[in-house]
Amino acid sequence: MANIVEVPSNKAKKEKEKVTTKYPRHTLKILKGNFAAAEGAKICKVGFIPAYPITPQTTIVEQLSSIVGQGKLDATYINMDSEHSVFAAAMGAAMAGERVFTATSGQGLFYSHEVLHAIAHFRLPIVICNVGRPSIPWNIWSDQTDSISQRDTGWIQYYGESSQEVLDDIIQGYVIAEKLDIPVMVVLDAFYQSHTSENVWVPDDDLVAEFLPAKTKTGNEIDPKNPRSFGGLVPTEQYESFNYQYWRDINQVEDLTDQIGKEFGEKFGRKYSAIEAINIGPKTEMILVTLSSITTTARGVIKNHPEVGLIKLRLFKPFPKKSVLNALKDVSEQAVIVNVDRNFLGDKEGAVMHEMKRALYGKSYKMYNVYTGLGGKDVPPSTIEKIIKKTNEDPEEVMWIDFE
């Protein structure tokens, strides 16, 4: 397994001590994002993995097939006939109480659309990874159009900035999903993350088990000893009550994300929250709003721009409005907000702009929108510099930065 490299044993002892004690009860590995995702599923002790290949997610299910085949994970692995069947099988197993994982991308996620709705509203705590790519014109590279176009299916969505975060999101994802009976989609960027190696601290199984115990039955599962009907036609008088219960629970996600992220930090040494506010304070004049790996690039660039802050949206759905407002509490409403969208929904504005406008309704921040990085186009520091410069000097409400 060339992708998993243990810390070399011939390093200076002192150096090794320093490295291996950064996070006790972890192993440092060099993993591509997809392999970090597979490790995440493995340490969460998932019991069922229905699988179907699609670029760029394929190596996740390949690696899991290898892990299960080698007996390193006691799971049932089935090669299904399509993503539609993958998600339907996931649904069936979760209805009977199994902890389920799978991964998909782009067309696979689009094809599963009706099942995504069913899983969310059957209230099944499934966690998946989606490695984002767009649709037509054909393209397999980094783009968030696929997952964002599924934002209204009822799934919680987290966007991981790093492979470490993807792995950590899977663990936290199961805790949150199983607490609320709402499924979680962990999204990572194609190739920039999925096929790029990073240092990833993989927690020991027993450490994960302390945070995420084996799945216990809630009493709502299919049970031959207690026959019931699941999913029958719901008459008009009762239908809303299901939506109402879901609505009450989905409203807890933002706070729960912060709470579980804090508890995760105490246990594993890496703390998470719904959003991350970077370099934001009373003197902030401009705020970039980003998802996933573009955030990392922007972190570097704003070091040269003390007046520019950054909001990283880790939780995207349900949209963390409270956290965004909190991040802006000391920021003058003269500041401008630049929403960076790596998705195209066929609208004038991208999804981040839509969501931020909804969140900041009633506030007078000037809001700008930038489309960039679509279809995997690289977003290097120079593009972020261009966004800041253009916004300062000659802004338009919606900008296609590379066409200016």
Torsion angle of C-alpha atoms 133, 134, 137, 141, degrees rounded to 10: -20
Q: Cβ closer to other proteins: 230 or 403?
A: 230
Instruction: Give min distance, CB of 151 to other proteins, in A.
Output: 21
- Measure the CA–CA gap between 403 and 386, rounded to whole angstroms: 11
Three-state SS for 10? coil
Contact 86, 109 (CB under 8 A): no
The HSE-up count of residue 240 (CA atoms within 13 Å, CB side) is: 2
CA 140 remoteness from chain centre: 18
Q: Cβ closer to other proteins: 178 or 189?
A: 178
Angle at the Cα of 267 (from 194 to 188), degrees rounded to 5? 15
Q: Cβ closer to other proteins: 121 or 267?
A: 121
- Measure the CA–CA gap between 331 and 150, rounded to whole angstroms: 32
Q: Cβ closer to other proteins: 231 or 381?
A: 231
Q: Cβ closer to other proteins: 1 or 96?
A: 96
The residue among 23, 25, 71, 20 whose CA lies nearest residue 206 is 25
Contact 50, 78 (CB under 8 A): yes
Instruction: Give min distance, CB of 13 to other proteins, in A.
Output: 45
Q: Cβ closer to other proteins: 98 or 169?
A: 98
- Measure the CA–CA gap between 73 and 47, rounded to whole angstroms: 8
Helices (H), 44-162: 58-69, 83-95, 106-111, 113-121, 145-149
Binding site for other proteins (CB under 8 A): 47-48, 50, 76, 78, 80-82, 84-86, 88-98, 100, 114-115, 118, 222-225, 227-235, 238
Instruction: Give min distance, CB of 73 to other proteins, in A.
Output: 13
Instruction: Give min distance, CB of 136 to other proteins, in A.
Output: 22
Instruction: Give min distance, CB of 155 to other proteins, in A.
Output: 16
Instruction: Give min distance, CB of 209 to other proteins, in A.
Output: 18
Tokens 């990874």 correspond to what residue? 129
CA distances from 39 to 59, 110, 152, 187, 319 (A): 12, 25, 28, 15, 28
Q: Cβ closer to other proteins: 23 or 246?
A: 246
Instruction: Give min distance, CB of 89 to other proteins, in A.
Output: 4
Q: Which helix (H) or strand (E) holds 377?
A: none
Q: Cβ closer to other proteins: 118 or 359?
A: 118
Instruction: Give min distance, CB of 87 to other proteins, in A.
Output: 8
Tokens 């949150």 correspond to what residue? 176
Q: Cβ closer to other proteins: 9 or 229?
A: 229
Q: CB neighbours of 18 closer than 8 A, spacing ≥ 6? A: none
CA distances from 179 to 1, 128, 264 (A): 35, 16, 15
Instruction: Give min distance, CB of 116 to other proteins, in A.
Output: 11
Instruction: Give min distance, CB of 145 to other proteins, in A.
Output: 24
Q: Cβ closer to other proteins: 235 or 282?
A: 235
* Burial class of residue 366 in the structure, from the number of CB atoms within 10 Å of its CB (0-12 exposed, 13-18 middle, 19+ buried): middle
Instruction: Give min distance, CB of 115 to other proteins, in A.
Output: 6
Q: Cβ closer to other proteins: 31 or 93?
A: 93
Contact 159, 314 (CB under 8 A): yes
